[in-house]
Amino acid sequence: MTIRRLSLLLFLYCYTVSGQQAVVTVPDEPANLDTVKQELKHYESCKESNCYQPQLEHQADLAIGLLKQSVANPKHGEKLAIVLDIDETALSNWAVETHDDFGYIPNDSNWCVALRRGKAIAGTLRIFHEAERENVAVFFITGRPESQRENTEANLKAEGYDHWETLYLRPVDHLKAETVTQYKSGDRGKIVANGFRIVLNVGD
């Protein structure tokens, strides 16, 4: 074998090893982020039964059914109540989420509140009006800070949530002292302590 031929074989071997490596498949590899974003947009807009809006309506139907059952057999003198969350429950922030390409930008979220851009989620609004018809008190509990009370109230009213018993927002001194879960549990405790029986708690 000549030196020239040996050199050519070594070159081909090295090229094959370094440039033609086998493709490694990673089990359970996450989907490409852009693919997930497109799937979210489709899920929000499609009309099949397993899509966002139809599923919301289905859950609202179930909630209203539970509410009617509770109202049908009340205990003497008891006060019934439902509790609603706000963001992605009573009001949708889809516009700001898509504007920010599904990234959380606090300033944009705060502007969304300040500009009162939240849109009523139809299924939750149906639950709200059903509670009104049945004389069941409605309480809102949100993780929004107390400083956003005026804009939150105005946005709710503009979207059809015309009146309620109490709107609970997080006091400034609670923002770091408690988690949202702890804060909301505490406020539900206050509702019960005031003599209400919570028959429905709706949140995202």
Please report which confidence band the pLDDT of residue 6 belongs to, taking 50, 70 and 90 as the band edges: very low
**Residue where the block lists tokens 């300033």:** 107
Mean pLDDT, residues 9-38 taken together: 69
Nearest in space to 47 (alpha carbons), one of 39, 55, 35: 55
Mean pLDDT, residues 169-177 taken together: 76
Which amino acid makes up residue 55? Answer: Q
Enter the CATH code of domain 42-91+120-202: 3.40.50.1000
- pLDDT at position 10, please? 46
- pLDDT at position 179, please? 83
pLDDT at 9 > cutoff 50: no
- Is beta strand 79-84 parallel, antiparallel or unpaired with respect to 137-145? parallel
pTM: 0.82
Mean pLDDT lowest for which of 7-11, 34-38, 171-175?
7-11
